[in-house]
Structure formats: C-alpha cells, structure tokens
C-alpha cells in the first residue's frame, strides 16, 4: 500500500515540463527533485513536493525518453502516478525507477486535487474518497522489478543470484 495527498494535472503532461532538458546533466534523484515541473512555476513545484501521488489525464509523460522525468518525481517524494493513460517510454521508466504508474481513467477522474489517494498493488486497486477502483494486475515480471525498487536493483539481485549458483 502506498499513497498520500495528490496533485492533479490535465492531459499531455510532457517530460520537458516534468524535467527540463537542461537538468539532464544529473542522475541524482535528490538533485533532480529541485527542478521537477520548473516550467510551471514555484507554486506548482511546491505542491508537487508536498504530495505523494500525481493524478493526470491522457498521455502522461509524453515526449523525450529521459528517465529523469520518472526518477526526479521519485526524488520529489512521489510514489505513484495515476493517469487516464501513459506514454510508453514514461511507463517503462517509471517501473524501472520504482515508481508506480497506473492507468485507471475512472480513478484519475474521481480523485480531487489535493485528495488522499491510496494504491494497493497487491490487491490491484486505487482508493480515493472512500471509493475503490480496480486495475488490471501488473504482469508478475513487472511486480518483481517494482518490489526490488527498480530495474537496476532487480538485475543486480539476479546477477548476484546467478553468481552464487
């Protein structure tokens, strides 16, 4: 179970908005967190940093393949993004950096800006304002990556296990 207060965005939030290209010189989530959503101004940035969940419309994370869009959100304390739909590269990068990305249009529509949103990965449901919204379970291989905290820790575990065998 993960979640907390949410901040809500509209459709087509692109990765240049989430993490401007000029900051890709870093891969440190803590450093990147300072620049998350910078083009939208300090007020939005502060709201994101004081939230744990992002709720959004269609095509969240469209644009550049920059992984720092996902890892910067992780650095800013975001643990899950609930959207109507995701751009495919952002979806991969989210899983690979241990960020839950859940396409659940009804939950995305129902969650009010600032509301509490909880995600139960084991039960495959999003809860907000007393209502639960099921989503199709993640494939087992993706759950293993998420449980390890991302792709790199997961592959490191696998390599270590192979080496020990």
Partner 1 sequence: MPATFAEKLLASAADLPAASAGEVVDAYPGLIMSHAASWRCIRTLERLGTDRLFDPDRIAMVMDHNSPAYTAKTAGDQKLCREFAASHGIAKFYDVDAGIAHVVLMEDGHVRPGMLLIGTDSHSTIYGALGAAGTGVGFSEVAATWVTGYLWMRVPESIKVTIDGPLGPGVFAKDVMLRLIGDLTADGATYCSVEFGGSFAQGLSVSERMTLCNLAMELGAKFAYVPPDDVTRAYLRERGVPGDAYTELFPDPDATYRQEVRIDGPSLSPQISCPHTVDNVKPVEAVAGTRVDQVFIGSCANAKYEDLAQAASILRGRHIAPGVRLIVTPASKKVVQRALDDGILSVLLESGALVTNPGCGACAGDGGVMADGEVTLSTANRNFRGRMGSYQAEIYLGSPAVAAATAVRGAIADPREFTPATEPAVAR
Which of 45, 51, 85, 128 is close enough to bind partner 1 by CB under 8 A?
Answer: 85
**Taking the complex as a whole, how short is the minimal distance between the CB of residue 23 and partner 1, in angstroms?**
10
Q: What's the CA gap between 91 and 142, in Å, rounded?
A: 11
Strands lying side by side in the sheet with 2-8? 100-103, 80-83, 53-56, 2-8, 116-120, 125-128, 131-134
What count of other Cβ atoms lies within 10 Å of the Cβ of residue 136?
9
Nearer to partner 1, 7 or 18 (CB): 18
Which string of x and - marks every residue 99-138 that binds partner 1 (by CB under 8 A)?
----------------------------------------
135 with 102: CB under 8 angstroms?
yes
**Taking the complex as a whole, how short is the minimal distance between the CB of residue 155 and partner 1, in angstroms?**
5
Number of residues located near partner 1, criterion CB under 8 A: 41
Nearer to partner 1, 52 or 92 (CB): 92
């Amino acid at each position: 179970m993960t979640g907390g207060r949410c901040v809500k965005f509209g459709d087509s939030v692109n990765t240049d908005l989430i993490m401007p290209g000029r900051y890709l010189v870093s891969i440190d989530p803590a450093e990147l967190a300072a620049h998350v959503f910078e083009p939208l101004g300090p007020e939005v940035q502060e709201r994101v940093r004081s939230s744990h969940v992002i709720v959004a419309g269609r095509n969240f994370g469209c644009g550049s393949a920059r992984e720092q869009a996902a890892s910067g959100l992780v650095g800013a304390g975001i643990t899950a993004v609930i959207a109507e739909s995701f751009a495919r590269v952002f979806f991969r990068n989210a899983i690979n950096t241990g960020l839950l990305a859940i396409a659940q249009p009804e939950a995305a529509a129902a969650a009010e800006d600032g509301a509490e949103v909880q995600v139960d990965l084991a039960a495959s449901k999003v809860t907000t304002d007393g209502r639960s919204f099921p989503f199709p379970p993640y494939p087992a291989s993706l759950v293993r990556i998420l449980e390890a905290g991302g792709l790199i820790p997961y592959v490191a575990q696998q390599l270590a296990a192979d080496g020990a065998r």
